[in-house]
Structure 1
Amino acid sequence: MRNCFKLRFANEKGYTLLDGIIQLSVLMLFSQVFAVTIGWSNRIEEMITNPTDTEWALFVQNVETYLNDIDSLVIQKEQPGIRFRKNEEEYDIELYANLIRKQKNRLGHEQMLLHVKTMSVKVDGQSLHFFVTFLNGIEKEHTFYVTYHSE
């Protein structure tokens, strides 16, 4: 009767060093995959939630519509920006406080790009180079091709 209450195990060797190394290797592999996945998802989230690229693309598209068939173009000296004449109207695109604005005949102002720290403009023939630094440190630049009105 005593023998029927004893439990018998088929493998009584216990936990080996090889078992521990294998389990540690699997744990390290999954932890690296987890860390890479978290880092990748953070970068994707930052790209999606950062509106700077979208705002810059809209700004570039908006400015391009104005720089076709203009009469004259000058770089402003008082404030960073440009002044151009088109269809008997005078337009200013300039840095004002922390934004780039557009004025028509020096009246009112329309916000074109927000959260801007610095802006510089350079004209080279028919090319107009815009360099912008945002408050978050991102720098953007674009070269516009300017067409002049031919009489």
Structure 2
Amino acid sequence: MTKKQDAITAYAKAFGELTEDTLDDLVAMTSPDIIFTDPFNRVEGQGGFRHVFDHMYETCTDPRFDITDVGHGKAASYIRWRMTAQLKSWPRLNLEFEGMTEVHANAKGQITAHYDHWDSASQLLAKLPVIGAVVRRVLKLFILPPRG
């Protein structure tokens, strides 16, 4: 493996073992100008990156990432994961998301980009009280009808 691939493999391992106490270790693996995106956020820099995870720990009980696969491509690497947690406040949902993170690293082995891809509509919004009924109805518009 290349230095970048080794760094991303170590990053995936750190994600799978992430706790509030090990968050500093994860941040230390990133470049000062890291870009992070998910369906709700786009932040730049280590401070913004850390803020995303501080917020996760503030709003969720026992968040965990189960890393199911890591693949390396020509320009990026990809981490498949399953996240579980429970919201601390109303509606106190049990969260379970499956997704993929596109990860980039520089020649120094620092993570420069972390792009989370997961279906927030069906995995989160459709499960919320009130808005969930509307989201489920919209999602049905995109479901293929059975073939006759």
Fold shared by both chains (TM-score > 0.5): no
Greater Rg, structure 1 or structure 2? 1
What TM-score, normalized by structure 1, do the two folds share?
0.31
Which structure exhibits the higher relative contact order, with contacts defined as CA atoms closer than 8 Å and separated by 6 or more residues?
Answer: 2
Scaled by the length of structure 2, the TM-score of the pair is 0.32
